[in-house]
Amino acid sequence: MRTPEIRPETLLLSPVLVLLVGGIGLFFLVGPSGILDRLSLFPLQEVAHATGFFLPYALCVLALLALHDRYLAKVCFVVDEAVEVLLSFGPVYLASFLSLAALGEELLFRGFLQEGASRLVWFLSPEESEGKVAAWAIFFSAAAFAFIHQRYRIYPAAFVAVFLVGLFLGWSYAVSRNLWIPVILHALWNAGELALYIIWRGREPVDPRSRKDVLWIPLVPDAHDDERPGERPHVHPSLPYWASVLLVGILGAAFVWFASDAFPELLRPGILGSLPHELAIGAGDKGHIREKFLFLPAVAEDARRVIRHEHVRLF
């Protein structure tokens, strides 16, 4: 089968779409909820709030996914070729792609979905909601995170692996209240998966039709369904996922240990790191939101100090 041409603009479209979805989600957290907060209706306030931003947001997501499928479906069927193209564009482009993907997905899954789900407590009393809301929000965002990453073909083992990564990222945000923590861990996970791909480059996935121990659920036939594996060494299709789960756990533990020892402020909410959370709890207060953007001059000053090799706090 002829491999479709993959252009850099096509690959960059995916993280850009995710960034757009995350931005739309934050807009719906800030906009409609501010009006509903002034109505002071409970629990109708929360019901209307849930419907008010989830319904239009769902329509936006469906539209963006349709655009994604229209232009990127073939890329999902030629993952090997896509990664090879990424590797050929040089380290700057590759780092930009991995960073955009991590930032966009964390804005969507942790900044919007997890933060939004944690506010939907109308079905619990204040006493019952303590602790349960955070757990519900983490599980919800992790499940959505795993499903989106396995949208075309679900390998149960790989789905569980990505779900565990989502739980870890959600937990890191819930504990630190700093969105940069899961963003950095997510970027490390992406880089680890790419490194594992390079290590396993040239190995064919195990043919699921010839092995009963490979659990899989085909959602959409891919371009390799009619091809028989060659004589090259085989690798279980979910092995890179599980290896990346182990990798992100090791890197995450090392990162948290190093940060808590060398930069204790890194694990505390910062002006920039807690921005999605502050937007959510301060919904409708436009003055409060504008104040959060006053960090820009401070960021510029910190950048100047870094260039001059002066000591500066990270967040």
- Token look-up 């533990």 returns 253
Weakest mean pLDDT among 72-81, 151-160, 259-268, 287-296 = 287-296
- Token look-up 């964390």 returns 106
The confidence band for 193, taking pLDDT boundaries of 50, 70 and 90, is confident
Helix intervals (H) in the chain? 8-39, 44-77, 79-88, 91-106, 115-117, 126-129, 132-149, 156-176, 180-199, 239-262, 275-281, 286-292, 295-307
For the chain, how far is it from start to end, CA to CA, in angstroms? Answer: 50
Residues 6+ apart with CB under 8 A from 45: 36, 37, 39, 122
Angle at 166 between CA 163 and CA 172, to 5 degrees: 145
pLDDT digits (tens, 9 = 90+) for 19-47: 555 555 555 554 545 434 433 444 444 44
Say which amino acid occupies 227: E
CA distances from 72 to 119, 289, 299 (A): 34, 35, 35
Q: What is the DSSP pairing of strand 217-218 with strand 153-154? A: antiparallel
**Share of residues in the chain with pLDDT > 70 (%):** 25
Tokens of 282: 């301060």
In angstroms, the CA 75 to CA 279 distance is 35
In angstroms, the CA 276 to CA 108 distance is 10
pLDDT digits (tens, 9 = 90+) for 49-104: 445 545 555 565 556 555 555 554 444 444 555 566 666 666 777 777 777 888 88
Weakest mean pLDDT among 58-62, 109-113, 263-267, 286-290 = 286-290
pLDDT at 72: 46
Helix (H, G, I), strand (E, B) or coil at 73: helix
pLDDT at 115: 77
Helix (H, G, I), strand (E, B) or coil at 253: helix
Which range in 1-5, 28-32, 247-251, 299-303 is most confidently predicted, on average pLDDT? Answer: 247-251
Say which amino acid occupies 253: A
DSSP state at residue 124: S
Say which amino acid occupies 147: F
Residues 6+ apart with CB under 8 A from 222: 76, 77, 152, 153
The confidence band for 245, taking pLDDT boundaries of 50, 70 and 90, is low
Q: Is this model's pTM higher than 0.85 or not?
A: no
Sequence spans of domains, the chain: 8-307
